[in-house]
């Protein structure tokens, strides 16, 4: 397995964040980012990318990949929350008073 290209990874991550912010701008120029929809959209893209990978060439490999991704995601969430607690989030967070049904929709 080759090591990840961090420069490419950073470039793609920045492009994704820019696209999310741009597509979330309201008529006043404020980005209203709906996390449930963004998460579901990102999962759809991840599924599309994973479906073309050898890492999902069998049900066993697919389960292994999903397990590894879930473990890494949990770790990334913990680290991100820790950073936000220490340094503050880099954006204002406002929770909807009437959230959509379910954590992902």
Q: Is the pLDDT of residue 97 over 90?
A: no
| pLDDT bracket for residue 4 (50, 70, 90) | confident
Confidence category of residue 99, pLDDT binned at 50, 70, 90:
low
Q: What is the pLDDT of residue 19?
A: 97
- The residue assigned the tokens 């929770």 is 95
What are the beta bridge partners of residue 31?
A: 25
Whether the CB-CB separation of 71 and 77 falls below 8 Å is answered with no
DSSP run (H or E) holding 7:
helix 6-23
pLDDT digits (tens, 9 = 90+) for 37-91: 999 999 999 999 999 999 999 999 999 999 999 999 999 999 999 999 999 988 8
Instruction: Note the pLDDT of residue 25.
Output: 93
């Amino acid at each position: 397995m080759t090591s990840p290209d961090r420069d490419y990874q950073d470039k793609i991550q920045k492009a994704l964040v820019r696209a999310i912010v741009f597509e979330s701008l309201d008529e006043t120029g404020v980005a209203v980012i709906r996390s449930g929809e963004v998460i579901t959209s990102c999962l759809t893209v991840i599924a599309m990318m994973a479906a073309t990978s050898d890492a999902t060439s069998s049900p066993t490999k697919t389960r292994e990949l999903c397990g590894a991704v879930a473990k890494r995601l949990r770790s990334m969430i913990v680290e991100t929350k820790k950073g936000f607690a220490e340094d503050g989030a880099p954006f204002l967070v406002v929770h909807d008073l009437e959230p959509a049904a379910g954590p992902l929709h």
